[in-house]
Chains A and B, each alone.
Chain A
Amino acid sequence: MKALLIGEYRQGKLLDSTFELFGFAAQLGGETAFLLVGDETRLPACDGPLYLAEAAECGEYNPDLHKQLILQAVARENPDFIVFVHSSYGWDLAPRVAARLKAAQVSEVIGLTDGGFEVGCCNAKMRRTVKPSTARAVLTIQAGAFPARQPNGTPRIQRLAATGNGGLEFVGYEPAEAKDVDLTRAEVIVSAGRGVGKKENVPVIAALARALGGELGASRPVVDAGWIEHSHQVGTTGQTVSPRLYVACGISGAIQHLAGMKKSDFIVAINKDKDAPIGEIADVLVVADVMQFVPALTARLQR
């Protein structure tokens, strides 16, 4: 069995998540080959072939060209699996490669089971086991699902080149918005999710945050709807936090939210749905209506 692992490089740096590909490959077993559009002067250790193209020439984000590079490496290595991280780079590129190879793609793999791949579905509430029917398959792995592994050795560099851009031109990066609250330093965070119902209810959650001496956090839909500012957003596209206490109010527990708060010391979730996936990582799940429970809790704390 052989896996071709596709590394990810952004703003001049190899992303740490790339090493999770090696952790995944270790569980899969067999040989690996590595492909990176990056910088020759700053290569990670790894044994086996490293297919390399220079980001300075090929662009960090030029999916059509990167697809061609990957297809070249596939032709030479003949791998059983082509593996990406399920990230803005991986989910964008993987289906292009799969379509050209007419290979099955399994997205956002979280585990291996007897000949199949375990993936989440229904907003992380349920799981599916998926089996590719094609001899070769394209996989994306969920960020954080597999342990990072630093390979060692000296790579055997194989150079790749291609041209073109498939009608897409990369203009540049735009930095993240400046943060007016630094949630990463907060000891207590009380976050509001869509389950709070409406903007007018947000002060109720903010009052609990104050009563606990903490900061107000938010899930993404609450930010998108303009109820709370983006600087309060917790998750993959917001802040990553690890307070002593995290209280999730009306938050379902989607993976992108969990990624931002699962390292909290103690997690309390208030949700009317006993099956909400937040229950998976909560130390305490209070099954209740937030708008009834939270004011009652705040009132007791203020007494």
Chain B
Amino acid sequence: MKILVCIKQVPDMESRFKANSQGVWFEETDLAFRMNEYDEYAVEQAVQLKEQLGDAPEVTVLSIGPDRVVEAIKKALAMGCDRGVHVQDPAAATRDPWQIASIIASHAGDKGYDLILTGMQSQDRGSAQVGVTVAEELGYACATTLVGFAFSDGTVTAKRELEGGIKGVVRLRTPALVTCQLGLNVPRYPTLPNIMKAKKKEIQTIAVAELLKEEPLATTVSFHPPARKGGGIVLEGDVGVLVDQLLGILKDKTAVLR
């Protein structure tokens, strides 16, 4: 059995974002990058399935981006993936979801993966398109937003999260692609021995030009902060003073402290 996990490296969401010089995405300097949270669930699920099947499946982890994304690939290898594919693309941030999906689909096209896992969306773009588009391009069965996953005899039984806490249970025959939602599992922390072992695992580098054949279908024309609706009071300073200020406001504006 062959499994592919697709991951993205994204900035820490607690960073301050500034527009880059073109004004269409964030300026990368000073940002710390990490694995997209949704993708951590995908990696963990792939590794759990490998363990369930007695180590038999080979798990490949793929990431598209500049050289920094190798760090995310290494983390996935330390979590238990077997081999890495780095699609080297310094301009990855300028690609639209269609192009990213087409790069993955052209890599996966002749590899015969039985199962592909992705996050349901990235934390930075949040388009929630790439996984489904890859499935569509490859003709794989596809389910999104998984909070439950079980595999036996070539069939995935998945629990999709719907609004309001309801779940939808679906069965997929492989080859299949699933997109993973928060809370699907508890991603493991790589242990030191596994980090050491991961250093010996192969990471193949492929130039993006070999896989990218598509033009973008959409363009970002501006990246900017939201317009402040204003009105809210911002309190800053010494904690003792802040407590007094807040209590004053609550007494004034709400009925809960009377």
Least CB separation from A172: chain B residue: B169
| Of B13, B142, B168, B244, the contact of A122 (CB 8 Å cutoff) | B13
Assembly CA distance A92 to B127 (angstroms): 11
Least CB separation from A170: chain B residue: B170
Assembly CA distance A102 to B218 (angstroms): 11
If A176-B165, A274-B236 touch, whether A168 touches B250 (CB-CB below 8 Å) is no
| Chain B window 122-143, contacts with chain A (Cβ cutoff 8 Å), 1 for yes, 0 for no | 0111111100110111001111
User: Which of chain A's residues 90-138 have a Cβ closer than 8 Å to chain B?
Assistant: 91-92, 94-96, 98-100, 102-108, 116, 119-134, 137
The answer to whether B226 and A126 touch across the interface, beta carbons within 8 angstroms, is yes
Q: Can you spell out 15 A-B residue pairs with CB atoms less than 8 angstroms apart?
A: A87-B163, A91-B128, A91-B144, A106-B218, A121-B126, A122-B123, A126-B26, A128-B224, A166-B142, A170-B170, A223-B183, A224-B183, A274-B236, A285-B235, A296-B243
The answer to whether B250 and A245 touch across the interface, beta carbons within 8 angstroms, is yes
If A98-B133, A237-B161, A300-B243 touch, whether A126 touches B183 (CB-CB below 8 Å) is no
- Residues on A with C-beta less than 8 A from B235 are 284-287
| Of A174, A244, A285, the contact of B254 (CB 8 Å cutoff) | A244
B200 within 8 Å of A (CB atoms): no
| Of A99, A131, A174, the contact of B136 (CB 8 Å cutoff) | A99
The answer to whether B182 and A221 touch across the interface, beta carbons within 8 angstroms, is yes
| Of A86, A87, A168, A237, the contact of B171 (CB 8 Å cutoff) | A168
The answer to whether A212 and B217 touch across the interface, beta carbons within 8 angstroms, is no
The answer to whether B246 and A174 touch across the interface, beta carbons within 8 angstroms, is no
B209 within 8 Å of A (CB atoms): no
> Which of A20-28, A146-154, A275-283 lies on the face that meets chain B?
A275-283
Least CB separation from A137: chain B residue: B218
The answer to whether B13 and A297 touch across the interface, beta carbons within 8 angstroms, is no
| Of B120, B124, B166, B173, the contact of A175 (CB 8 Å cutoff) | B166
CB distance from A70 to the nearest CB of B (A): 13
- Residues on B with C-beta less than 8 A from A236 are 163-164
If A224-B182, A244-B256, A286-B242 touch, whether A107 touches B163 (CB-CB below 8 Å) is no
The answer to whether A133 and B218 touch across the interface, beta carbons within 8 angstroms, is yes
Assembly CA distance A172 to B257 (angstroms): 47
CB distance from B190 to the nearest CB of A (A): 18
The answer to whether B96 and A245 touch across the interface, beta carbons within 8 angstroms, is no
Which secondary structure dominates where chain A touches chain B?
mixed
The answer to whether B217 and A104 touch across the interface, beta carbons within 8 angstroms, is yes
> Which of A38-46, A47-55, A196-204, A265-273 lies on the face that meets chain B?
A265-273
- Residues on B with C-beta less than 8 A from A279 are 232, 234
Assembly CA distance A106 to B217 (angstroms): 10
The answer to whether B217 and A92 touch across the interface, beta carbons within 8 angstroms, is no
- Residues on A with C-beta less than 8 A from B142 are 63, 96, 166, 168
B128, B163, B167: most-surrounded residue (chain A CB, <10 A): B163
Least CB separation from A284: chain B residue: B233
Least CB separation from A298: chain B residue: B243
B216 within 8 Å of A (CB atoms): yes
Total contacts A-B at CB 8 Å: 255
A12 within 8 Å of B (CB atoms): no
- Residues on B with C-beta less than 8 A from A292 are 239
- Residues on A with C-beta less than 8 A from B123 are 122-123
- Residues on B with C-beta less than 8 A from A212 are 256-257
The 5 A-B pairs with the shortest beta carbon distances in the complex, nearest first, are A167-B141, A176-B165, A224-B183, A104-B217, A95-B132
Least CB separation from B19: chain A residue: A126
Interface residues of B (CB under 8 A from A): 11, 13-14, 16-17, 24, 26, 96-98, 101, 120-121, 123-129, 132-133, 135-137, 140-145, 157, 159-173, 176, 182-183, 186, 215-226, 228-229, 231-236, 239-240, 242-244, 246-247, 249-250, 253-257
The answer to whether B133 and A99 touch across the interface, beta carbons within 8 angstroms, is yes
| Chain A window 168-188, contacts with chain B (Cβ cutoff 8 Å), 1 for yes, 0 for no | 111111111100000000011
| Of A102, A106, A122, A221, the contact of B17 (CB 8 Å cutoff) | A122
If A128-B222, A283-B233 touch, whether A296 touches B240 (CB-CB below 8 Å) is yes
If A130-B219, A223-B183, A274-B236 touch, whether A105 touches B11 (CB-CB below 8 Å) is no
Assembly CA distance A96 to B143 (angstroms): 11
- Residues on A with C-beta less than 8 A from B243 are 293, 296-297, 300
| Of B14, B129, B160, B221, the contact of A131 (CB 8 Å cutoff) | B221
The answer to whether B127 and A107 touch across the interface, beta carbons within 8 angstroms, is yes
Assembly CA distance A134 to B226 (angstroms): 27
The answer to whether A252 and B250 touch across the interface, beta carbons within 8 angstroms, is no
| Chain A window 204-238, contacts with chain B (Cβ cutoff 8 Å), 1 for yes, 0 for no | 00000000111000001101110000100000111
Least CB separation from B41: chain A residue: A224
The answer to whether B129 and A284 touch across the interface, beta carbons within 8 angstroms, is no
The answer to whether B136 and A100 touch across the interface, beta carbons within 8 angstroms, is yes
- Residues on B with C-beta less than 8 A from A213 are 256
- Residues on A with C-beta less than 8 A from B128 are 86, 91, 95, 107-108
A88 within 8 Å of B (CB atoms): yes
The answer to whether A238 and B165 touch across the interface, beta carbons within 8 angstroms, is yes
A9 within 8 Å of B (CB atoms): no
Assembly CA distance A129 to B17 (angstroms): 16
The answer to whether A88 and B163 touch across the interface, beta carbons within 8 angstroms, is yes
